[in-house]
Structures are given as structure tokens and as C-alpha cells.
Amino acid sequence: MFAEEVFKDDFSIYGYELDSAKMGYFKGKLDDATFHNLNKKIQKISEPSYKYYNEGSITETPTIKLVIQRGGDKTCYQTDYPTDNFQNHVINFLNKICAGKTEKGEKFKTDYEFDCY
């Protein structure tokens, strides 16, 4: 997993603070329950009716960009105003994986410049 920018949950009123411990390239083996949960979340957000963004925009929040690649298929989810469900159940879940029993790894090939539009 690659996390470019992750912000601390308890940011100040003066701006968002990056959480460098949760940023970078991560490697590790997920336990079966976490892996199953991750696949369920990917299936859920892949449903055509799933709404991951709120209408409108908030310009003073960071843009969330999630690219999921399975085989040759890539799907991009990008918003600066995520729904509570997407933030709480997907983004926070991925942040926990970065902070869990994974370790920082070497850079690996990604389609980092994947265009969401």
C-alpha cells in the first residue's frame, strides 16, 4: 500500500498536520479478518449506487484520492467532501492498516499519476 499524504485526526484550527508515520510505502501480511474486511469494503464502494462524496465542495479540506487496482482494472475515488460513511469506514480503515502491523517498505511501482478524471 502507498499512502502519499495522511493527516492527523486532531489537527489544529490553523491547518492540517501531516502524520508521517502513516505515510509512505507499506508492506506486510494482513490477517484473514482484515483482508476479508478490506475486500468487503472494496466491493461495497464498487457498487454503482455507492455514494462516496457529498454534493458541493469544501475548499479548505484536503482532497482524498483513492485508487484501487485489481488486475488490470483501476478505479479512482476523489473528493474534497467525502460522505461520513466513506471517511469512517474506508479512509479511516486504510489509515489503521498503515498504523497497524505493517512496516515501511521500499518504493514499488505504482500508477501514482493515475488521473481520476
Residue range 64-87, pLDDT digits in tens: 888 887 777 788 888 888 888 888
pTM for the full predicted model = 0.67
- Contact between residue 61 and residue 80 where contact means Cβ atoms under 8 Å apart: yes
Mean pLDDT (the chain) is: 77
Question: In this structure, which amino acid lies at residue 7?
Answer: F
Is a pLDDT exceeding 50 seen at residue 6? yes
**Locus of grid cell 501480511:** 29
Please report the pLDDT score of residue 32 as a whole number.
92
pLDDT band at 103 (very low <50, low <70, confident <90, very high): low
**Locus of grid cell 481520476:** 116
